[in-house]
Each structure stands twice: as C-alpha cells, then as structure tokens.
Amino acid sequence: MVESKNSFYNTSKVTKTISVTSGKGGVGKSTITANMAVQLAKQGKKVLVMDGDFGMANLDIMFGVSTNLSIESVLLGQKELREVICEVSSNIHLIPGGSGVYSLNRMSMFQKRFLMDQVSKLEGVYDYLLIDTAPGIDDDVLYLNSAAGEVYIVLTPDPASVIDSYALIKVLNQKYKEVKFSIVTNCVRDEKESVRLFRAISDMAEKELLVHLKYLGHVPQDSQLRNAVKSRKLVSEIYPRCPSSLSLQKLAKKLSDFNGIEERSGGMQFFWSQMLNVA
C-alpha cells in the first residue's frame, strides 16, 4: 500500500500513459510490460504499472509479490486507489488486477467520479503509467487502449498474431478514431525478421486504414528469457546482459529519450477520464 505523502500532490510533470496490448494472447505482452518497467526504473524513472487484464491478472506474480487487494475494490468504491497500489521494486508501483474483475462498463457515474477523485491525487507523481491490457477486442481492452497516450502492440511471427493485431488496429481506428500505433515484435530470430514482420502488418494497415504504424523494436528469441518466465522472475533483473534484456533496455531508452509523445492525454487524469467516459 502506498502511504499518503506530499509528493502525491506534485503536479509539476505530466505522466506519460502507454498501453501495451495485443490482438492475440500468449505473445509475451505482460513480460515485456514488466521488464520495460524495470528498465525505465533503472534509468531513474518512476513507473506505475496497471494490470489491465481484468479477467486473468498475473503481473503481481511476475514481480514476485502477492496481494489480496486489486483494482476491483476501487471500481466498487470500497478502497481508495492509493490503498491498493503496492511497491513491487525500486521506483515501480503496481495497481493489481484481479480474476473476473468488475467490468468498467458496469460502473455507475458515482463510482466513476469517485475513482477520478482518487486519480487526480496521483497526477505528477509518476513519469510513466504502463497499462498491460488483456488481449483481443473486448470493450474493456478497447477502453484502455483508446484512453492511453500511446498504444504499443506486441506481435510475434505467428500468422495468427499478425492477423489478430490487424483486427485490433482496425477496431481501434474505426470505433475510436485511433491513427497512431507503435509495434514491438517478440520471439523473432533477428532484426531482419522483425522488420519483415513490421512491414507485413504496416503495409496491410496503411493500405486499408488511415493509420500510421511506427516500428519501435524487437525482443529476440532467448533461452534465458524463457528460463526467467518459467521461474517467475524478470529477465531484466536476473540476466541483465542477455540478448532479450539488452533489447528491452533499448526499447526503454527509446521511450525515455522520445519527448514527442502527444500530450493529448493531458496525463494520467485524462487517461482515466477517457477510459471511464467522464470527460
């Protein structure tokens, strides 16, 4: 639980909000989210990670923590947001998800306003809010992605991953008018395969839709990453010099070096207001 401190009312900076999502499950999205948080924290950034998979949350396990609290208690108005936030590592805090959590579209306006009041107290505390969404195109997934300042889509060489990612991009573009997406490839042999994969989905999307896809980078096939996942550890912490850790370090460096993220989000508070439709 995060204690009440004066720093929670610091509004001198705008929190960059980034959703990490995928059209298909099993592509390593949560692994990338957690390790990106570690790499950003190593750069001295303060990161808040939200487990946005309201049906099958697992980020707490990845960080090696166990908590009985979840965002469901906040959505139901039973807890304040800061009461469920837990510190999982130096400079990293987590908003835990839950199993079968109360759906966002079932919240009353009173519950939404209550949550927004809690969120307003967190603006300016964190440099980044990383949202690990569920895969697919369910309503809650779309809400989270459409509200974020940047959308990172993770895909693998599996043809189903490419097709489902395109479907996600199409729905977000047609239903929520999203036009910019960043692509991260995972489990690729090398940079050449990664770029080929990016071009395949980029050509498809930009030909059929009015969107722009940006190539962010790749995470290679790596036995040490697989070992870390099996042992429920973060590869960036236990194998900091292995190929996947170095690639994740580059991804985080790109993110922290890039100051051109559109602040259409107005920070964390705008993200939540858009997600809950109380703007």
d(CA 119, CA 8): 10
Which residues pair with residue 23 across a beta bridge? none
Domain boundaries, the chain: 6-276
pLDDT band at 7 (very low <50, low <70, confident <90, very high): very low
What average pLDDT does the segment 116-134 reach? Answer: 84
Q: Which of 134-138, 231-235, 255-259 bottoms out in mean pLDDT, i.e. has the lowest? A: 255-259
Q: What is the pLDDT of residues 80-119, one digit of tens each?
A: 888 899 999 999 999 988 666 556 666 677 777 777 777 7
Residue 71: pLDDT over 90:
no
Whether the per-residue pLDDT at 6 is higher than 70: the answer is: no
Crossing angle of the two packed helices 268-276 and 109-120, in degrees rounded to 10? 170
**Across 172-197, average pLDDT:** 96
pLDDT of residue 39: 97
Query: pLDDT by residue (tens digit) across 218-246?
Result: 999 999 999 999 998 999 999 999 999 99
Pick the CATH number of 6-276 from 3.40.50.300, 3.40.50.2000, 1.10.3720.10, 3.90.1010.10: 3.40.50.300
Instruction: Tell me the average pLDDT across 162-185.
Output: 96
State the CB neighbour count (10 A cutoff) for residue 266. Answer: 16
Residue 228 sits at the vertex; the CA angle it makes with 224 and 229, to the nearest 5 degrees, is 120
Report the pLDDT averaged over residues 209-224.
Answer: 95
**Averaged pLDDT of the chain:** 85
